[in-house]
Structure 1
Amino acid sequence: MMPKLKFDYRDHKHELGTFSNNVCTTLLSHTAPVIQKVEYQSGQIYRFPRTLYNFKTLETLQLRFNVLINVPSTVFLTSLRTLHLHYVNYKDFKSVLNLLSGCPNLKTLSVHRYPCSNTVKTFTIAVPSLQRLSIYNSNGGQQDWGYVINATSLKYLKIKGICGLGFCLIENVTELVEANITDVSDIFNENLVGSLTSVKRLSLRISPLKVKFPTDNVFYQLVHLELHACKEAWFNLLTLMLVSSPKLQVLKLINQWRCEKKRVARGEWNQPNNVSECLLFHLEAFMWKGYKWQREDEKEVAKYIIGNTKRLKRATFSSRRIKPSERVEVVKELESVVRASNSCKLVFE
């Protein structure tokens, strides 16, 4: 009668052969009117019981490590709202399609994969009800591997660690509110960023040299942008995003401390010939976390934003390992900039 079940092979490691039997027996004997959650983690390849795919009251399913997904053509997980597929194995691509098509009310999906660890080369996610999707790949891939995402109700998208894959095709995501694209590179065929033009909040930790950038697309709905300033040619990405985001209201730049020791070809900051529309009419908040006040190029970027943003209300800077005397000098230099907005308040944390 328990509404939540968790199976962990480590509880059975001293009794070989009992884990699979106990899992099957428990699921087959379960008689509660509603089963809310099933979590399964295995140390050996284990074929999950097909009876699980007909639990009409199951609300959350988590499958982790060495589970073999061999899904029959008929799946009835009509109450399933949350699904985690973390480093599991799939018999074939049909098993993925059958599993997801049998979840008509799925809201949250999390997929973690080793790119070359199973037989599914094209991982298709076609779930009209899906609202939150997270995809994580360990580094490495092949040109004939990739993802196809078709989710008309999707509100939140996170993609991390997709490197060297052939494609990541995203379609029909016109309701997207927030997207987070991290450590993605060498997507050979598809324009990943260009499919996200309807997003309102966007976080990018990518290099424009590694990912195709949609120079002819406009992010008309984007109001909040976060860029990580530790990727190759990130200055170019900043310029492109300012031009492509006419309604941007919040801009946040991040220099992570662990990137300080890496030598990254940042490129040169070339001040745009024309001030972008977002700086003239909409940007109100500018934040720079990990501002490297010693670098002349970062000083120029900061001065450009402050000096050309007419509706800026607050500009916040923070820096690591700075002495009190150095802090005073940095503040003086920023204060000396002729600000386009008379109401702009400068804060150095």
Structure 2
Amino acid sequence: MANSVPERHERGSEIILSDRLSNLSDDLLRHILSFLPTKDAIATSLLSKRWMSLWIGLPILHFDDSSFRSSESFFQFVECALKFFPNFNHIQIFRLKGSGIKFGPRPDKIISWVKEVINKLNELQVDELELCFTSWSSIRLASSIFNCSTLKVLRLKDVKVDTLSSVNLPSLKVLHLESVMFLEFRCLVMLLAGCPLLEELKLSSFALYYYNQKTNGIYSLEHYLVSSNNPSSSFLVTLKKFCVDQFKGLGLRRYSDEHERSFRNPKKVLSHSQICTWERATIRILKLNGVKVTTPSFIHLPSLEVLHLSNVIFPNIQGVYNLLCGCPLLQDLSLKYCSAILIDGRSIVPIKEGSLRNLVSAHVYRYPFTLEERLKNLVLADVYRYPFTLRSLSNVTALRIDTIGFSSPLDIPKFYNLTHMEIRCCPGVSGTTLLECLRNCPKLETLKIDEFNSKEPSGNNVPQCVSSNLKEFHLGNYRGLHNEFELARFIMEEARVLKIISIRTNSKANSEQEIMLKRLSSCNISSANCRLLFNSIPKI
């Protein structure tokens, strides 16, 4: 940015301003303009004669109605810009985004633009196409959009797909479908089968059930695919990343208002045997949110490195065991609010030793399995009502945890590498147990406690991390109670290298906040460089 400021040169009494930006080549200027929205890029044509036509050669066209004050100005702008299409030689990226809520739907205009772009996809050698709308569900895409030899990335949102006669996307590697309505599931199968090089597939707010008016029945995507003559082995053989998010956006689209009740539950059946087969050797990233899965007895995902599951329903806890044991290279694991049906009264399944030996990051909330072995490669853990023992987490450098494991000092192992620890709540934990925990974290630099309801720490033996290493201390939901104040005072007086002590309160009364702050400010702070931050956090 500093290089673009004009330099001042003096020649006698004359001052000459040299514009470094204008000295750049046209290709380099176009590259800079490509990072701007098309509206802003075109605005640069007013700078000088040289800039008048630079935007025409941009490899990216990005139209977004959110930056316009009125619908009429947006429509006029896009119409004028598209008139320059014959002057374009190659468009790498074309994006068209419309809210439809702010201006009201104009499907006739939008459809004409989409058709014009689609008709020129191959001619302009478009690499990436993104059509994202909201509340414009009446926009239908012709089948020609799915026949483009150059397209590598396709993102669609809130559109309908007509019956497909053919699909040919030989170069497509990334496919994102959000709230996309296929009139027939057969068309979805055709689409996936027509992408031989597909590496990333993302489905959001996707209708995995559909209503057949002829038979008056409701069918799942799995039902159609299993009964289809096109087996899954014939497509998606190159898939590396697969994501399903049924909780994103406005929810599932419905094919019949008459059967609206059938679609109210967002947890729909996801086909495991066809789309997301559990024996994909190529998949490296798998993310599922708000779905119900079926897991076979044998799962083999030898390349999987990232597994994120949220609000996923398993048929039984054995499926959880099979999944975690079938990912030998797993490095990033996130399991949040998942559930499974019990088998023979068992609520917990022990994971086979060595199954998660490569795990680096773990975010696990309420999950029915246990793990006893020490995870030597684990550096980041965020666990709530966790299946891991503290011993298995003892190698981490960052830890966010509840207080179940701190019920006894005997349960706390040494955390030799831990530098950052967050504790959600300390109910019923004695001050002695908390100090014992800190003694077992000699390198701890940051300590955050969301809520402290326990007895204040006592004793003359100050933990090494508090006196020598602790740099930040954060205490949340502060109410000014005696035990909370004593904990804050203890940290301020004993932490010699402390830089920040942050206290957050939910109190809205200014008088209460002033009393709390005045009392905290009266404490002696042993660190000369420490700052006391007192923030009022409103209740949600």
Q: Which runs of 5+ in 1 are unaligned?
A: 256-263
Which residue of structure 1 aligns with residue 398 of structure 2?
201
> What displacement does 1:140 show?
7.8
Which residue of structure 2 aligns with residue 111 of structure 1?
309
For 2:323 and 2:423, the matched residues in 1 are separated by 29
For 2:277 and 2:486, the matched residues in 1 are separated by 60
Is the counterpart of residue 345 in structure 1 residue 524 in structure 2?
Answer: no
Q: Secondary structure at the residue paired with 2:483? A: helix
Q: Secondary structure at the residue paired with 2:519? A: helix
Q: Secondary structure at the residue paired with 1:220? A: coil
Which residue of structure 1 aligns with residue 181 of structure 2?
11
For 2:286 and 2:457, the matched residues in 1 are separated by 46
Q: Secondary structure at the residue paired with 2:319? A: coil
Is the counterpart of residue 70 in structure 1 residue 251 in structure 2?
Answer: no
Q: 1:291 to 1:153 in 2, by over 3 A?
A: same
Is the counterpart of residue 90 in structure 1 residue 294 in structure 2?
Answer: yes
Range that drifts further, 141-150 or 60-69: 141-150
How many residues in Structure 1 have an aligned counterpart in Structure 2? 317
Q: Which runs of 5+ in 2 are unaligned?
A: 1-168, 210-219, 246-267, 536-540
Report matched runs for 1:231-310 at 5 Å. 231-233=427-429, 238-255=434-451, 266-293=453-480, 295-310=481-496
Q: Secondary structure at the residue paired with 2:371? A: strand
For 2:277 and 2:173, the matched residues in 1 are separated by 27
For 1:11 and 1:67, the matched residues in 2 are separated by 16
User: Which has the higher Rg, Structure 1 or Structure 2?
Assistant: 2
Greater per-residue helix proportion: 2
> What displacement does 1:271 show?
1.8
The answer (yes or no) to whether the contact 1:235–1:268 under 8 Å persists in 2 is yes
Aligned residues with identical type, % of pairs? 20
Report matched runs for 1:1-80 at 5 Å. 1=169, 2-6=172-176, 11-12=181-182, 18-19=184-185, 21-31=186-196, 33-39=197-203, 41=206, 42-43=208-209, 44=220, 46=222, 51=232, 55-63=236-244, 65-70=268-273, 75-78=279-282, 80=283
- The alignment's C-alpha RMSD in Å is 3.5
For 1:74 and 1:253, the matched residues in 2 are separated by 40
For 2:455 and 2:341, the matched residues in 1 are separated by 31
The answer (yes or no) to whether the contact 1:207–1:234 under 8 Å persists in 2 is no
> What displacement does 1:120 show?
1.9
Q: Secondary structure at the residue paired with 1:245? A: coil
Q: 1:69 to 1:275 in 2, by over 3 A?
A: same
Give me the TM-score of the superposition, normalised by structure 2: 0.51
Larger relative contact order (C-alpha < 8 A, sep ≥ 6)?
A: 1
> What displacement does 1:213 show?
7.7
Q: 1:313 to 1:270 in 2, by over 3 A?
A: closer
Letter aligned with residue 247 of structure 1 = K
> What displacement does 1:308 show?
1.6
Letter aligned with residue 110 of structure 1 = H
Q: 1:27 to 1:345 in 2, by over 3 A?
A: closer
Q: 1:147 to 1:89 in 2, by over 3 A?
A: farther
List per-residue Cα deviations over 1:202-232 (Å, max 9, x = no partner): 11134347x8886351110000111112655
Give me the TM-score of the superposition, normalised by structure 1: 0.76
Q: Secondary structure at the residue paired with 1:286? A: strand
> What displacement does 1:8 show?
7.2
List per-residue Cα deviations over 1:94-122 (Å, max 9, x = no partner): 1xx22x23xx2x33211243365576252
